[in-house]
Amino acid sequence: MKFAVIVFPGSNCDRDMYHAVKEVLKEEADLVWYQSANLEDYEAILLPGGFSYGDYLRSGAVAATSEIMQQIKAHASKGKPVLGVCNGFQILLEAGLLPGAMQRNKNLAFMCHQEPLVVENNETLFTSLYEQGEVVQFPIAHGEGNYFCDEETLEKLKANKQIVFTYRNNPNGSVADIAGIRNEEGNVLGMMPHPERAVEALLGSADGVKLFQSVVKNWRESYVANT
């Protein structure tokens, strides 16, 4: 399976994503500069964390208007996997690929530590190798990770089982403890915690490996079924 790791000016978790896919999963991966990207030949798109465009205006707001987002939207419309982590999640929200918005953490401080999460939905292409309700450890590293949406949107997220991960301790004040959501079609996932920084025990947790393995397994099964 071939992954594109999109690199914006200010991205700083792109190498972590690349390492998780290339060195841990042993799958194909390229670091793709946003201005020269051609995503036609990639099966999955990864939007990494960092501070795209220095978080000017709002986190992810400038990156969400870049030309590459049209390719990413076209990629998503074909049912191909798109994963946005941390700043990548913020970009997906700003681009309208996922509902809701991000606010400053409730304590108005940058937070960086391991955080326990609950797998709320294991019937997704990103989480099928986890158990329903499984508690995993992923690190967080953000200042604007307080997810917000209105009541109507929240009810839709719940009804459609779009809430994929929740926080056990809700460190940033996110509505309904939300740590990660998917789109209605199920092929776009945004999350604030970093699974790519939890792929080896040396890093403090290897719980993130199953997220990437789930993507590869489900894509290959889907590919075989359609060929």
State both tokens at 175.
């509505």
For 144, counting Cβ atoms within 10 Å of its Cβ (0-12 exposed, 13-18 middle, 19+ buried), the class is buried
- Report how far residue 200's alpha carbon sits from residue 165's, in angstroms, rounded to the nearest whole number: 20
Q: What 3-state DSSP class applies to 190?
A: strand
Token pair recorded at residue 87: 């700043």
Q: How far is CA 207 from the centre of its chain?
A: 15
Annotated catalytic residue within 43, 115, 149, 194: 194
Q: Of 115, 120, 144, 196, which is the active-site residue?
A: 196
149 in active site: no
Q: What single letter denotes the amino acid at residue 163?
A: I
In the residue annotation, 113 being an active-site residue is answered as no
86 is catalytic: yes
Question: Residue 79 CB: number of other CB atoms within 10 A?
Answer: 12
Q: Which of 13, 86, 120, 144 is catalytic?
A: 86
What positions carry a catalytic annotation? 86, 194, 196
